[in-house]
């Protein structure tokens, strides 16, 4: 397969594109990254070094049937009309409540807490050059949390309430949407949770000056089923599940990554998007 070759399936089936996803390998020791310069450094390997050609399917024909509890993602209209994304305080004051309402309506959660947001644009990929909110598009097959880091995040954010909240179901959802224009470059690829067995999730250690964290990266498997929503508009939003405490068979983690869409127009507008990270309590 070539890196940027567009393809189409038989009539009546969803179109696909062919691209490259950055997977990780467990060969050679633990995967990790430092967000600061330590005096003593563990010998971590970088994530995303296993580049694999994959097919990514147009998910629009199935949009009404997708579920965050099954595939790990779903898409819905988002018509709040907010467009002041350059002002962080306004985002927190006016857009966060819209995101909370969106998550509650589509999950049935009794309480939803936003704990941060990120604006994505094409920038330097060196994590150390990023600001707290402005970050580059991420070209890495990953999921934001693990069975250890999910509950720890609840403890970090909710303090004394955490133990009572963790005694019931907790799930983390990202609300992901374009800022001002339809997505014409580097759309978000979504890996159907049913196609990723537990052994394909590899822990990546994140070392901060004041704490340790971890996320999942994905090990390649030809059984992974990737999908995306080409041309997604600003009045639409994805609901992505990145952690679920339930172990009853529903989706718990969903791998995702930006990718180079070979069908992007030559005069494409640069991708600008926001993701709101929330924890939902049931």
- Give the C-alpha separation, 22 to 6, whole Å: 18
- Give the C-alpha separation, 34 to 194, whole Å: 31
- Asked whether residue 255 is assigned to any structural domain, the reply reads yes
- Give the C-alpha separation, 101 to 261, whole Å: 31
- pLDDT value for 26: 84
Question: What is the domain count for the chain?
Answer: 1
Q: Which residues, listed in sequence order, are joined to residue 50 by a DSSP beta bridge?
A: 23
Q: What letter does residue 89 receive in the DSSP assignment?
A: H
- Asked whether residue 3 is assigned to any structural domain, the reply reads no
- Asked whether residue 226 is assigned to any structural domain, the reply reads yes
- pLDDT value for 179: 96
The pLDDT profile of the chain, 282 residues, written as one tens digit per residue, is 434 344 443 334 558 999 999 999 988 889 999 999 988 888 899 999 999 999 999 999 999 999 999 999 999 999 889 999 999 999 999 999 999 999 999 999 999 999 999 998 764 344 444 444 445 789 999 999 999 999 999 999 999 999 999 999 999 999 999 999 999 999 999 999 999 999 999 999 999 998 889 999 999 999 999 999 999 999 999 999 999 999 999 999 999 999 999 999 999 999 999 999 999 999
- Asked whether residue 43 is assigned to any structural domain, the reply reads yes
- Give the C-alpha separation, 121 to 54, whole Å: 24
- Asked whether residue 70 is assigned to any structural domain, the reply reads yes
> 125-153 in b/e burial notation, b at 16+ Cβ within 10 A?
eeeeeeeeeebbbbbbbbbbbbbebbbbb
Rg (CA), the chain: 18
Please report, for the domain that includes residue 252, its CATH number.
2.60.120
Which among 46, 50, 29 has a CA at the least distance from the CA of 206?
46
- pLDDT value for 8: 41
Full domain range(s) for residue 218? 12-281
Q: What are the phi and psi torsion angles at 105 (to 5°)?
A: -65, -35
Give the end-to-end CA distance of the chain in Å, rounded to a whole number: 44
Strands (E), 122-261: 134-136, 142-143, 170-178, 188-191, 201-207, 212-218, 226-228, 236-244, 256-258
- Asked whether residue 6 is assigned to any structural domain, the reply reads no
Tokens 């890495």 correspond to 140
- Asked whether residue 129 is assigned to any structural domain, the reply reads yes
**What is the helix (H) or strand (E) element at residue 58, kind and residue range?**
strand 50-58
- pLDDT value for 28: 80
- Asked whether residue 2 is assigned to any structural domain, the reply reads no
The Cβ of residue 79 has, within 10 Å, a number of other Cβ atoms equal to 11
Tokens at 57, concatenated: 């399917």
């Amino acid at each position: 397969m070539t890196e940027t070759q567009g393809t189409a399936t038989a009539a009546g089936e969803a179109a696909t594109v062919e691209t490259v996803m950055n997977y990780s390998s467990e060969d050679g020791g633990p995967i990790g990254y430092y967000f600061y310069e330590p005096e003593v450094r563990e010998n971590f390997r970088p994530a995303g070094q296993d580049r694999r050609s994959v097919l990514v399917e147009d998910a629009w024909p199935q949009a009404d049937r997708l579920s965050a509890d099954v595939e790990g993602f779903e898409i819905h209209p988002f018509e709040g009309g907010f467009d002041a994304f350059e002002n962080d305080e306004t985002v927190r004051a006016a857009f966060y409540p819209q995101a909370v309402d969106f998550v509650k309506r589509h999950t049935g959660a009794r309480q939803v807490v936003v704990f941060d947001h990120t604006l994505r644009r094409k920038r330097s990929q060196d994590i150390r050059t990023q600001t707290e909110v402005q970050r580059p598009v991420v070209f890495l097959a990953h999921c934001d949390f693990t069975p250890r880091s999910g509950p720890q995040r609840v403890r970090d954010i909710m303090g004394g309430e955490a133990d009572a909240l963790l005694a019931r179901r907790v799930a983390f959802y990202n609300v992901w949407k374009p800022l001002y224009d339809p997505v014409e470059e580097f759309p978000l690829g979504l890996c159907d949770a049913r196609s990723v067995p537990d052994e394909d999730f590899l822990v990546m250690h994140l070392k901060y000056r004041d704490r340790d964290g971890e996320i999942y990266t994905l090990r390649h498997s030809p059984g992974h089923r990737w999908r995306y929503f080409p041309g997604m508009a600003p009045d639409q939003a994805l609901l992505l599940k990145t952690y679920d405490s339930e172990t009853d068979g529903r989706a718990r983690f969903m791998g995702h990554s930006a990718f180079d869409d070979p069908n992007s127009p030559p005069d494409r507008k640069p991708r600008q998007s926001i993701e709101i990270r929330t924890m939902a309590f049931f």
